[in-house]
Amino acid sequence: MRRLPWDIFLALLAGLGLGLVYSWIISPTRVIDTEPAVLRADFKDQYRSVIAAAYAATGNLPRAQARLALLRDADPVEALNAQAQRMLARGEQVERADQVAALAALMSDENNINAPIPSPTLELVSQIETAPTVTVTSLPPSSDVPTEPTEIPEIIEVQPTSTVSVPTPRPTATVIPTLGAPFALTGQESICDSNLPDGLLQVLVISPNRRQLAGVEIVITWDSGKEQFFTGLKPELGNGYADYIMTPDVAYAVQLARGSDVAVGITAPTCQTPAGEAFFGGIKLTFQQP
C-alpha cells in the first residue's frame, strides 16, 4: 500500500497561503485612473453628492453637467431625484439631499429652454436706413490771407451703403422663458380614500405643456410653524409629485418657493367609509406654470 505524499500537500498549502498573504496584505491590487462609470452604486451616490455640493458653491451648471456625464446614467435627472429620495430615507442630512434635488431641478429646467433669443439685425438695418445725410464743406478763407483763384470747394456727401427697403417694425414685447416664472394654482380637490394615510396633502407641479417638474421647493406654513419639501422624491408617483401629512384641525397655507398663488385655509376634510366610520381625508393641489 502506497503512502500519501503528505509532504507535497503541505508544500502546496504553504505556497497557497503565502500567495494569499502577498496578494491580499503585502501587495494588494490597486485600481488607478478608472472611470466613474465603473464605480459601485454607493460610490456613484457619493460622486453625485460631491458634484451637487460643488455646484451649490460655484453655480457652474455646465461643469456639473460635464461631471455627471462621466457616470453615463441613462437619465441624469432621474438618477439625481432617486438619490435624493434615498438620502432622505436613510436619514442623511437634509441640506445635502436638497442640494442634489436642486441640481436635478435646474438640469430639468435647462433641458426645457429651447427658444432662441431673437436677433436685433432688422432694427440695426432700419437705423442705418433712416440715418441723416452728412455734408462736409470747406471753410471760407480768412480776410488776412490774400485771395487767390482757387477751385470751387468740393461737396462730399456720405450716403448710407445699405439700400434695403424694409419698413421699420413697431416695437413689440418679446416673450423669453424664465426659470422664475410664477405658478398658478389650477386645481384644489378633497380626496376621501380610506386606503390613503389620514390627512395626506398631495401637491402636483407641472410645466405649461403639462410636464411634471422635479426638485421644486414647496413651502407649507401654519400658525406655529413652517416646513419645506420637494417634488420628485417619489419618482414612482411622478417627478412633479410631493406629499405631506397634515395634522387634523390645523389650517395650512401652501405655496411654491419660486413664486406662486397661495392656497390658504387647507385643512384635512372629514370623510366617512361606506360602513359609516369617520376618518380624515386628504387634499390635492395642482400648480401649473403659465
Residue 140 has pLDDT above 70, yes or no: no
**Residue 188: enclosing H or E segment and its boundaries?**
strand 184-191
pLDDT band at 263 (very low <50, low <70, confident <90, very high): very high
Residue 177 has pLDDT above 70, yes or no: no
Say how far apart CA 209 and CA 113 lie, in whole Å.
12
Contact 135, 155 (CB under 8 A): yes
pLDDT tens-digit profile of 213-258? Answer: 988 899 999 998 999 999 988 888 888 899 999 999 999 999 999 8
Say how far apart CA 152 and CA 140 lie, in whole Å.
11
Mean pLDDT along residues 140-162 = 48
Question: What percent of the chain shows pLDDT beyond 90?
Answer: 26
Q: What are phi and psi of 139, to 5 degrees?
A: -75, 150
- What is the residue-averaged pLDDT of the chain? 78
pLDDT band at 95 (very low <50, low <70, confident <90, very high): confident
Say how far apart CA 159 and CA 113 lie, in whole Å.
43
Strand partners, 263: 254
- pLDDT score at 174: 41
| 4-8, 12-16, 78-82, 282-286: the lowest-pLDDT one | 4-8
- pLDDT score at 89: 84
**Residue 190: enclosing H or E segment and its boundaries?**
strand 184-191
Mean pLDDT along residues 10-38 = 81
- pLDDT score at 13: 87
- pLDDT score at 223: 93
Tell me which of 147 and 255 has the higher pLDDT. Answer: 255
pLDDT tens-digit profile of 66-78? Answer: 999 999 899 888 8
Residue 127 has pLDDT above 50, yes or no: no
Contact 219, 254 (CB under 8 A): yes
Residue 102 has pLDDT above 70, yes or no: yes
- Those residues with Cβ within 8 angstroms of residue 262's Cβ, 6 or more apart along the chain or in another chain: 185, 253, 254, 255
Mean pLDDT along residues 102-118 = 67
Alpha-carbon torsion (209, 212, 216, 217), positive or negative: positive
Say how far apart CA 223 and CA 221 lie, in whole Å.
7
pLDDT band at 31 (very low <50, low <70, confident <90, very high): low
| CA neighbor of 193 nearest in space, from 284, 286, 264 | 284
Residue 134 has pLDDT above 50, yes or no: no
| 40-44, 89-93, 178-182, 205-209: the lowest-pLDDT one | 178-182
Beta pairing class for 252-256 and 263-266: antiparallel
Tell me which of 134 and 190 has the higher pLDDT. Answer: 190
- pLDDT score at 114: 46
Task: Catalogue all structural domains in the chain, each as residue range(s) with its CATH number.
Answer: 1-111 (no CATH), 184-288 (2.60.40.10)
- pLDDT score at 138: 45
Residue 141 has pLDDT above 80, yes or no: no
- pLDDT score at 250: 93
